[in-house]
Amino acid sequence: MKPDLSPQPPKPHLRRLLDEAVTDCVPPAFPREGIVRRAAAIRRRRRLTAVTVAALLLIPVAGKLALDQGAPSSPTVSSADTPTPVSSASSETGDAPSPVRVVRPGERIDVGLGMWYLLKEREYCPKHQLDPEPSCVGPLDVDQPGVPMTLDWYPFPQGVVSVFAYTGKTPATRITMTQHGRTTLLPIVRLPGRPSFVSSYAISTPVSEKERKRLIRPVDGPVFRVYGADGAELAEMRQ
């Protein structure tokens, strides 16, 4: 390989040709004002771009913050923030009480996977995507015989949605879902002034396609347990 002998021009003919070519180019006076003006324009444009990008990035965040602040718009007092839908993938909890959300009768409670429900004085009404209207379960009463729990479950390919209500004489303070050895804390949703009529919801792991299509009760479905303030188990129901 030949060593580079620069700065000796390696192709003198080409150099001469290029030199001749640029003789046509007679530089005008140095455009000081033009350069400063263009620099100012570039600076303005960059700042505008930065502001626009920042605004575009911040608008969704601000919107989410505003929505979060506006969410507990219920005139009733809530003792906890809006609980988020809990899935089986949530972390396990100790003996912490469930987050409580107090809703008005008829207020929509989003569960996930397109499902939602509402609470009435003595009913809870889940709404499936395919149903034209919520289908109500009730009337529920503290004097009803048997297990004071009523549960509806809806299998989807992404998971099984469970919506249930507890109507016991002892108020519930903690509701859990246990599946595959993992216990998940669920939220409590209730009406104002009705501590003994509470509802909850969860999304558990999907069932097999056969179980889903035939609506067969899953073999290893989750178990829901309701506890009182003293930690005693008040009710248990399997999906």
Site stretch for other proteins (CB under 8 A), options 27-35, 84-92, 161-169, 218-226: 27-35
Do 126 and 163 meet the contact criterion of CB atoms below 8 Å apart?
A: yes
Q: How far is CA 120 from the centre of its chain?
A: 26
Residue among 105, 112, 75, 108 at smallest CA distance from 186: 112
CB of 45 to other proteins, least distance (A): 11
Is residue 48 part of the contact set for other proteins (CB under 8 A)? Answer: no
Residue among 149, 161, 229 at smallest CA distance from 201: 161
**Terminal CA-CA length for the chain:** 80
CB of 57 to other proteins, least distance (A): 18
Helix, strand, or coil (residue 185): strand
- CB closer to other proteins, 7 vs 145: 7
- CB closer to other proteins, 24 vs 143: 24
Site stretch for other proteins (CB under 8 A), options 12-20, 52-60, 103-111, 114-122: 12-20
Helix, strand, or coil (residue 159): strand
Is residue 39 part of the contact set for other proteins (CB under 8 A)? Answer: yes
Is residue 34 part of the contact set for other proteins (CB under 8 A)? Answer: yes
Q: Are strands 223-227 and 174-179 parallel, antiparallel or unpaired?
A: antiparallel
Is residue 32 part of the contact set for other proteins (CB under 8 A)? Answer: yes
Residue among 191, 145, 151 at smallest CA distance from 171: 191
Up-side HSE of residue 6: CA atoms within 13 Å toward CB?
2
Is residue 43 part of the contact set for other proteins (CB under 8 A)? Answer: yes
CB of 19 to other proteins, least distance (A): 7
Instruction: Give the helix ranges, DSSP H, for 26-84.
Output: 32-70
CB of 157 to other proteins, least distance (A): 46
Is residue 27 part of the contact set for other proteins (CB under 8 A)? Answer: yes
Which residues within the stretch 56-75 sit at the binding site for other proteins (CB under 8 A)?
none
Site stretch for other proteins (CB under 8 A), options 36-44, 75-83, 193-201, 216-224: 36-44
Q: Alpha-carbon distance 20 to 201, whole Å?
A: 84
Is residue 36 part of the contact set for other proteins (CB under 8 A)? Answer: yes
Q: Percent helix, strand, coil in the chain (nearest 5)? A: 25, 30, 50
Is residue 33 part of the contact set for other proteins (CB under 8 A)? Answer: no
Do 190 and 100 meet the contact criterion of CB atoms below 8 Å apart?
A: yes
- CB closer to other proteins, 21 vs 96: 21
Binding site for other proteins (CB under 8 A): 4, 6-11, 13-22, 24-25, 27-28, 30-32, 34-36, 38-39, 41-43, 46
